[in-house]
Amino acid sequence: MLDDTIAAIATPIGEGGLAVIRLSGAQTFVIADKCFSPTGKSSLKPSAAPTHTIQFGKIIRDGNVIDEVLLAVLRAPRTFTREDTVEISCHGGILPAKLVLDALLAAGARLAEPGEFTRRAFLNGRIDLAQAEAVADLIHSRTELALAAANEQLAGKLSQRINQVRDDLMHTLAHVEAHIDFPEEDIAPDTKENLLQRLEAGIAFMDELLRTANEGQILRRGIRAAIVGRPNAGKSSLLNQLLGRDRAIVSHIAGTTRDTIEETANIRGLPVVFIDTAGLREAHDEIEREGIRRSRESLAQAELILHVVDASEPMSDADKNYLAEFTGKKRILVRNKTDLPVKLELSAAAGVPVVDVCCTGGQGIEALKDAIKNLIWAGEIKAEMLQVAINSRHQDALNRARFSARAATDALAADATLELVAMDLHIAANAVGEIVGKTTTEDLLDKIFSSFCIGK
């Protein structure tokens, strides 16, 4: 498939000022020459144009003009894919971009699969697998911190550290295998001590990376926070305040929210998916019953509970039931309507923070945002942490590598058979290598790049 020349629309489908179509592969300039007609004395056919230049002209198919375009000529290896590449900027809109793409496909290109341009960049050695994943993280970033973490990984900060761990494992493995080849020579005590120290240092570093897994997943996918409470406690008003806009219908009539509403907000640099749930009560009709069922599903998936209570009314049995029901989850008690005479006494218990707010005027919302951030991300968000925030795939590989590295260390310290030590070191090195793509399978690549959009 690397012999194919691929094409795809690289910008979102819809109306806009511009659309970009990418073409990459060995036949790029042959195909582009068939479709592009230069306009003016200074414009050239793609095959004749110098690299990293822009040519003005028209896309032609069957003698008909499709659109006026700017065509960027990018010659290998100084391209994203390290292949000859053309990027065509045409007028935005579904039809112009589609017709330009159709012209390229008719001239011999193949429609790119999801993530195939980035996959070629990986297979051609321009980026490693961790950097390829960072491309997707960059596209899907929802906060500046997530963007910064993706940029650090794309720059190779995580890869540098992973490669150092793998090099240390391979160096130790080479020593062990050398002694397997010459069994008459025992490992000298000082050499053995050095090998053990190197392995312990590698394990310690794996532990350091594994500690960033939770933060890395929060940055990439956010955290789900369900807003719960009895009807008319102010859940929808709280969602609107946290989002900074009117997203949910607010009414004094209990049971207004009949379905779950999900929206993402930037809370102190962290993406938080807020879920406004239907008030949990005895349903009065089938629609409300379905809304409450969906609310229960959202509560089961939520990692944080914002339990809203009405400060202007005494504690009800429903409030007490909620306090007991959500004991096992991270939660914040939000006492709303504090602008009214307070009849609900509520104090922090068992480490559960209590925040007073008034959703009609916005008082206390900033304090609530601080409480949310402190509950899901302890301590300061440091730049060096963003450099190595790992994802769930990295976490799985490192857990397997750490297990085998610990087995190899213990076996070496106990003077076990060196063949067993070598086997564990092989497994550990291969697992670490999976992160950057030095040891990988076609199935793994398919899984990673299938989550990319077409055109990237």
pTM of the model: 0.76
255 & 313 share domain: yes
Q: Is the CA virtual torsion 63, 67, 69, 75 positive or negative? A: negative
10-residue mean pLDDT series, the chain (456 residues): 86 86 96 94 93 95 93 95 96 90 95 93 91 86 80 86 91 86 67 86 90 78 82 82 65 47 81 74 55 67 83 78 76 85 66 83 87 76 63 90 93 86 92 88 83 83
Do 232 and 357 belong to one domain?
A: yes
Query: Residue 367: which domain range?
Result: 225-376
Q: What is the DSSP letter of 350?
A: T
| Within-domain flag for 220 | no
H or E element at residue 419: helix 418-436
Q: Return the H-helix or E-strand segment holding 67.
A: strand 64-74
CATH number at residue 367: 3.40.50.300
Residue 383 has a pLDDT of 56
Closest among 257, 267, 294 to 371, alpha carbons compared: 267
Side-chain-side CA neighbours of 127 within 13 Å: the count stands at 22
Last residue of a domain, one of 331, 351, 376: 376
Same domain, 294 and 421: no
Any residues with CB less than 8 A from the CB of 194 and at least 6 apart, and which? none
CATH number at residue 404: 1.20.120.430
- The pLDDT, as a whole number, for residue 232 is 78
Same domain, 21 and 87: yes
- Shared domain check, 167 and 28: no
Task: Name 224's bridge partners.
Answer: 273
Instruction: Verify that 203 and 240 share a domain, yes or no.
Output: no
CA distance 144 to 342: 39
Domain count, the chain: 3
232 and 353 fall within a common domain? yes
Please count the CA atoms within 13 angstroms of the CA of 414 that sit on its side-chain side: 10
pLDDT at residue number 249 = 44
3-state secondary structure of 238: helix
276 and 370 in a single domain? The answer is yes
Q: Write out the H or E segment, with its range, that includes residue 87.
A: strand 85-91
Whether 176 maps to a domain, the answer reads yes
Cis peptide, bond prior to residue 50, ω within 30 of zero: no
Task: Quickly count: other Cβ atoms within 10 Å of residue 28's Cβ.
Answer: 28
In a domain? residue 291: yes
- What's the angle, vertex CA 81, arms to CA 12 and CA 385, rounded to 5? 80
The angle at the Cα of 325, spanning 346 to 265, to the nearest 5 degrees, equals 75
Same structural domain for residues 28 and 59? Answer: yes
Record the tokens describing residue 176, joined without a space: 């062990």
* φ/ψ of residue 224, rounded to 5: -90, 125
Query: Three-class SS of residue 360?
Result: coil
Distance between CA atoms of residues 129 and 162, nearest Å: 12
Look at residue 405 and tell me if it is in a domain: yes
203 and 344 both lie in a single domain? no
